[in-house]
Amino acid sequence: DPSRVLGVAASAPVIAPADTLARRDAHVAAAQEHYYSRPPQIERGWREHLIDTEAQTYVDVVNNVTIAGHAHPGIVDAAARQWTLLNTNSRFHYAAIAELSERLAALAPAGLDRVFLVNSGSEAVDLALRLAFTATGRGRILAAREAYHGWTIGSDAVSTSIGDNPRALETRPDWVELLDAPNPVRGTYRGRGSAAAYLADVDARLDALGADGRAQFAGVVIEPIFGNGGGVLLPDGYLAGLYERVRALGGVCISDEVQVGYGRLGAHFWGFEQQGAVPDVIAVAKAMGNGQPLGAVITTAAIAEAFEQEGSFFSSAGGSPVSARVGVAVLDALRDDDLQGNAQRVGALFGDALRALGTRHPSIGAVHGMGLYLGVELVVDADLTPAPELARRVCDLLLDDGCIVQPTGDHKNVLKIKPPLCITAESVAWVVAALDRALAAA
């Protein structure tokens, strides 16, 4: 019970009238109802558990933000202390910002040591795009289908997998050039194993643009593993090959680490490491704040300075003293609680158990991803026809059983398995048993 541990009095359950909820956030409510028949009202959380207003507990399997777990004492303490001192982005308060920036730079590849703090993943991607534009003096960007980068105008323009957001721009701005998704499971590239075939298509695409067309590109933005696209690993060597081509054009390579980075892969801290590639710009958020609005763009001095010459820009609340203190406390938790190590150990157990479940349930077409970045692809047949209705039913049954999972992927048939990185082997075993029951019943 978190209230005993933290000394916080539990509030009496308050059920907001339906019309109040609808007024407050109609599109969020609609998104939840899209996934679940009876979305719960969560009141609080503890580690990998969530507790609703009727005191039912759930294992939080879908959370790709709260990596250190809900109500992490060290993070709560850091936030509370900083709130009592100062929380405004006074231009004369540097301590927390400097400490977080130093620690991020130390985690980034050599040469990426300039940090901008922002409030969200969408803002980080927008800023990363802006850095690419100013550093190159060019105005077009390469991106890939099936990716999701955010819901602001810039990040949405480079997204096609609309993920959890009910709307996407219907008209894509002409500054975006979309590559086909390097997805060997379905679509244009189904069954292709090697990166060479995908890269040959990138070459053909770039050739078709002509020299003048190619010279307009400021760079590429891509997720090293497509998170909302379902977690399918890129073919080995694809990212390094793509970066090589973009650099040959004089462009900047942006890695969107918002969902994949920060230790979730277990074997790697950053997603691009899984592909053996090194970007020029990293966009990160979600896990960075463990739920507090916080993101960052990490880049080279040359790229940062080109942007700074444009003028003095900053985000009013991005990297506020509380957010930055929380950011430091999250990095402490990563180290002290060995969250990345746990993602590797428990993630391997989780992946193996899900694959074993697949041998008994033919509706599991594949298990994608690695560490605690997993996707269970539900299908109708051996041809891997997506089963979105089944996915929704399974998520509803899991919810009744006490486990929050959500469908993702372009066909909404992939169960998104991204729990807090502190999840225990016991909770994993329980979730796998619950999924077994749900698949049998559905």
Alpha-carbon Rg of the chain, whole angstroms?
22
Among 228, 274, 323, 342, binds ligand PLP (CB under 6 A): 228
Structure tokens at 112: 């990426």
3-state class (DSSP) for residue 149: coil
Local structure of 337: helix, strand or coil: coil
Q: Name the residue nearer to ligand PLP (CB basis): 82 or 120.
A: 120
One DSSP character per residue, 15-47 reads: ---HHHHHHHHHHHHHHHHHH-SS---EEEEEB
- Comparing every residue's Cβ against ligand PLP, the nearest one is 121
Residue 83-102 contact track with ligand PLP, rule CB under 6 A, x = bound: --------------------
Is 241 a binding residue for ligand PLP by CB under 6 A? The answer is no
Q: Provide, rounded to whole angstroms, the least separation between the CB of residue 395 and ligand PLP.
A: 18
SS3 254: strand
- Per CB under 6 A, the list member of 146, 156, 177, 223 interacting with ligand PLP is 223
Nearer to ligand PLP, 46 or 151 (CB): 151
Between residues 2 and 318, which has the closer beta carbon with respect to ligand PLP?
318
Q: How far apart, in whole angstroms, are the C-alpha atoms of residue 253 and residue 257? A: 12
Q: Does 344 bind ligand PLP (CB under 6 A)?
A: no
User: Tokens 């909770």 correspond to what residue?
Assistant: 427
* 46's tokens: 């503890």
From the CB of 159, what's the least distance to ligand PLP, in Å? 8
Contact call for residues 63 and 418 (beta carbons, < 8 A): yes
Site for ligand PLP in 6-65 (CB under 6 A): none
Quote the Cα angle for 380-383-387, to 5°: 25
How many Å apart are CA 296 and CA 115, to the nearest integer?
7
CA distances from 89 to 321, 322, 375 (A): 7, 10, 39
Q: Shortest gap between Cβ of 288 and ligand PLP (angstroms)?
A: 10
Instruction: Assess 70 for contact with ligand PLP (CB under 6 A).
Output: no
- Binding to ligand PLP (CB under 6 A): which residues in 254-273? 256, 258-259
**Stretch in the footprint of ligand PLP (CB under 6 A) among 222-230, 303-311, 346-354, 372-380:** 222-230
Which residues in the 150-169 window bind ligand PLP by CB under 6 A? 150, 163
| Least distance from ligand PLP to the Cβ atom of residue 315, Å | 13
Residues within window 111-150 making contact with ligand PLP, judged by CB under 6 A: 120-122, 125, 148-150
Instruction: Find the binder of ligand PLP among 184, 227, 351, 420 (CB under 6 A).
Output: 227
Say how far apart CA 429 and CA 370 lie, in whole Å: 17
Long-range contacts of 306-314 (CB under 8 A, 24+ apart): 306/131, 306/134, 306/135, 307/130, 307/131, 307/134, 307/135, 309/134, 310/134, 314/89, 314/116
Edge to edge, the sheet with strand 406-408 lists 364-370, 373-378, 414-417, 406-408
Helices (H), 361-405: 388-401
Q: Is 2 or 289 the residue whose CB approaches ligand PLP more closely?
A: 289
If the CB atoms of residues 121 and 182 are measured against ligand PLP, the closer one turns out to be: 121
Closer of 87 and 292 to ligand PLP (Cβ): 292
Site string for ligand PLP, 280-319 (x = CB under 6 A): -----xx---------------------------------
The count of chain residues that interact with ligand PLP, using the rule CB under 6 A, is 16
* Residues contributing to the site for ligand PLP (CB under 6 A): 120-122, 125, 148-150, 163, 223, 227-228, 256, 258-259, 285-286
